[in-house]
Amino acid sequence: MDATKARVGWAGALLVGTLLLVLAACEDNGTGVVEDLVITTATTGIDIDPDGYVVAVQGLGSRPIGASGTVAFESVPSGSYVVGLTEIPANCTLAGENPRTVSTGSGDPLAGRFEVTCFPNEGTLEVTTTTGGGGIDPDGYMVEVAGTLSKTIGLNDLVTFSSVTLGEVTVELKDISGNCVVGDNPRTVTVALGETTSTTFTLDCDPNVGMDVTTVTNGISLPSAFTVMVEGEPNQSIGINGAVLFPELADGSYEVRLSLPGHCDVVEGLNPRSVTVSNGIGDTTFEVTCGWLVFNSDRTGNFDVFMMRYDGSGQRNLTNDPDNDEQQPVVSVNGTVAFAREPLSGGSEHIWVMNQNGTGLQQLTTGSTVSRAKEPHWSPDGSELAFTARITGDQWDIWVMNANGSNKRNLTDDAAFDGRAEWSPDGTKLAFDSDGDIYVMNADGSGIDFVTGGGGNPTWSPDGERIAFTGSTNGELDVWVVDADGSNRTRLAGFASAEDGEPAWSPDGTTIAFMSSRPGGRNTEREIYLMDSDGSNPRALTANNDQDMWPSWVPIP
């Protein structure tokens, strides 16, 4: 039975006491005749409890009875009995006495009929606002009840919700100007049947009104704060999910810019944007997503450099060059994109750079120093590029040059095929592959140490403790991880009859991007996937009829 039933009518304990008292005053009529004592209920109205009630009879105990039902106490000594109905819900009322005396035999046959009327299981809630101070927003507010009912409400106003479910409900005042403060919001109130429950929101508004700027941010590798710039005002720091007030601004239009690191962008609206202050008040909200990747795709007919957000949205072509083949993109901490470009019309691939928006294209390597160059990777501070190059023949080595292409120098010079070098997070070492094995060396090329066999495309974890790489399992390529000293080799991603590889660790270490030819999109072409750093939760970011490869994260400045 509903617990609210205990609040209505007389309590069960009181009924039992009453029954005992009346029972002592009632006697058998002495005839020795036994008859049936029949009790009926008839319930009408709304929100009737399907569980019904409990009927209690003197000396005969208690039994459940339906909301509109009949219970017979059979073959009981004829006479008068005290009968009561219990567990009546709070939204129902009983006509007549309860308990009452009911007689067998020639007694009043209507005495054993209990008539109940039920009302809607709802109550009324009044919400009041009281606003004081200066710089008051003339638009008022929005009040929301139980997350489903809402009404507009003025600055000093009262609104009524007439159909609120009984019990505890949440009440919240919304659309409050940034210069106003209200206590206990949201709050919980208890709505009772047949009563009007009231609650009042008291607001105090600062007369130093101005422009309220809010940020709402999601993604990965989240920074701690951004910078807000309002035309003609000092810059302010703002949390990634925060708000700041630029006070006492004259009415007019202002340019507002949110300064973001390279791996974050505004996903809704312009940045910068124009915000109007009227009657001393203005506001704007920047919705931000953090976590970008660059990758290759031949969806345009040849390989180009693309960017997309961590969730696969916002895909865009940065190079869009029909005459060239751009691959293996990486982004520096300064926002410069390096990649290998091979002219389709003929010639060798070389290292090029451009701005993160695709402008400022510049070639860094030429045939005057190396005949071919590919697989660039930036140093952590963005001052140098490691890359794979050869001078003559088929000997590929690890080279390093300054960010502007100067001071090219060869770090490895042997007959092995050395490639895909990547700096450690602290910039002191380089991991690379050589003839199908993974090695680590100092940043100047000295101290080469073997890490693990049967692998390539190494990528460091952000803490420098582990290296993810592409490894072979029974002839199939999978993503593996190994400690930097070569221990604890573990497979993270593998899919039967599919190729997984080219891992790239996210800057916050929580996620690994990789290339996979596994089924799951519209086809089995290579696509870009993400997985958690322990190999769980793989999910596709791209789904094309073409090749998407070589993912790399935009680093945190």
Q: What is the pLDDT of residue 420?
A: 96
- DSSP secondary structure string, 247-286? ESPPSEEEEEEEE--TTEEEEES-SSEEEEEBTTBEEEEE
- Please check whether residue 24 is in contact with residue 48, taking contact to mean a CB–CB distance below 8 angstroms: no
Q: Does the N-terminal peptide bond of residue 223 adopt cis geometry, omega within 30 degrees of 0?
A: no
Q: What is the pLDDT of residue 120?
A: 78
* Consecutive H or E run containing 123: strand 122-133
Q: What is the pLDDT of residue 21?
A: 29
How do 397-402 and 384-390 pair as beta strands? antiparallel
Q: What is the pLDDT of residue 36?
A: 85
Report the distance separating Cα 103 and Cα 81, nearest Å: 6
Nearest to 308 by CA among 292, 296, 297: 292
**What angle is formed at CA 389 by the lines to CA 388 and CA 394, rounded to 5 degrees?**
115
3-class DSSP assignment, residue 359? coil
Query: What does pTM read for this prediction?
Result: 0.62
Q: What is the pLDDT of residue 200?
A: 94
Which residues does the chain have with pLDDT short of 50? Answer: 1-31, 106, 520-523
| Sheet with 500-505, side-by-side order of all strands | 500-505, 511-516, 527-532, 539-540
Report the distance separating Cα 335 and Cα 350, nearest Å: 20
- Please check whether residue 354 is in contact with residue 365, taking contact to mean a CB–CB distance below 8 angstroms: no
Residues sharing a CB contact under 8 Å with residue 14, sequence separation 6 or more, in sequence order:
none
Could you tell me the two tokens for 479?
């993503």
Sole residue written with tokens 């006495």: 97
